[in-house]
Homo-oligomer: A and B are copies of this chain.
Amino acid sequence: MRSHTEELWFELPERVAFVNNTERVRQALAKSGVREGLCLVNAMHITASVFVNDDEPGLHDDFRRWLERLAPTDRDGYAHHRTGEDNADAHLRRQIMGREVVVAITDGKLHFGPWEQIFYGEFDGRRRKRVLVKIIGE
């Protein structure tokens, strides 16, 4: 069994943002030498997300509005903020968007459908954060 481990760093100027990191995951896969296996990509922070969806800016605007409706920013309304934090909405949003994706590796490639792209979803940005890529296989 081979394995490969890589941490990707992000520091985004916005509080909420979506970044396509498919190419960086592909580069990690190329380094791994794995032909058949699984590739885990996960946010290492609990106010961020890794998910697979469409690389279309209008849809990302829809995500922003939708998350604001389902899990609003609200300085005073969350019990979590009694600790001095102000990011409860980000913790909730990451549950909807998900922590991680597991992608199949077949013939040395990410085994994707026609539109699948891997995104980093940031819900409490303006600080350095990491995404983990872990590849195992043969």
A residues with a Cβ closer than 8 A to B are 1, 3, 5, 36-38, 40, 42-46, 51-54, 56-59, 61-63, 65-66, 70-71, 78-83, 85, 88, 91-92, 94-104, 106, 111-116, 130, 132, 134, 136-138
Identical subunits present: 3
Interface majority SS on A: helix, strand, loop or mixed?
mixed
**Which of A71, A95, A101, A102 has the largest count of B CB atoms less than 10 A from its CB?**
A95
User: Using Cβ atoms and an 8 Å threshold, which residues of chain B touch A134?
Assistant: 38, 104, 106, 111
- Contact of A40 with B42 at beta-carbon distance under 8 Å, contacts A1-B137, A104-B132 already known: no
Q: A3-B137, A56-B85 are in contact. List 10 more A-B contacts (CB 8 A).
A: A1-B1, A1-B37, A5-B106, A5-B111, A44-B114, A45-B116, A58-B79, A58-B81, A59-B91, A62-B91
